[in-house]
Amino acid sequence: MGFFGELFEDVTGKSKRPEIKGSRFENFVSNEIFTDMLFDLVEMTRDFDSNKERFEERSLNPDFLFRDKRTREEFWVEAKYRNGLFKNNKGQLVCEICKQWQLDRYRDVEKTTGKKVYICLGIGEDPRYPETIHLIPVSDAYPQLFQSKLKETLLWKSPEL
């Protein structure tokens, strides 16, 4: 695909590039889910382009550290965006939220910092306007989630569905 094709995909939200989709969903999570009115942003990992220049070790942490303004409790959030579900090798519909080594790393962060870690999973065609949002504690997470677990962890659903 040429320059103009990529530009069109970037502008319309249809970009297939993971770093663009991820960045757009991280913005959605920070601005629409964990809003400034209710949560302080304590820490945020560097973006893909910044880490290309020189990798910062704290980028291994989840994407955000928020503080609830009401309770003062701090917690980590890792933003993950997926286009949809797929059939695994047993023919079951699942959503792959991460790799096992990533899940192990998030659990290690929870253990070493003493702060809960959640995966904020968005599903849909455009990371700027997800169809559903799920909030999954890493303690209850698996690399692939069945539809039943997605229903349990549903935080928000687009009114257009």
If 0-12 CB within 10 Å is exposed, 13-18 middle and 19+ buried, where does residue 80 land? buried
- Does residue 30 sit within a domain? yes
Ranking 6-10, 43-47, 53-57 by mean pLDDT, the lowest is: 6-10
- Does residue 7 sit within a domain? no
- Does residue 5 sit within a domain? no
Q: What is the pLDDT of residues 76-100, one digit of tens each?
A: 999 999 999 999 999 999 999 999 9
- Contact predicate 104/130, CB 8 Å: no
Number of structural domains the chain divides into = 1
- Does residue 6 sit within a domain? no
Per DSSP, 103 falls in state: H
Range of the domain at 32: 17-157
pLDDT average, residue stretch 40-67? 79
- Contact predicate 83/125, CB 8 Å: yes
Write down the pTM of the prediction.
Answer: 0.86
Amino acid at 126: D
Q: What is the CATH number of the domain that holds 63?
A: 3.40.1350.10
Helix (H) or strand (E) segment spanning residue 94: strand 93-96
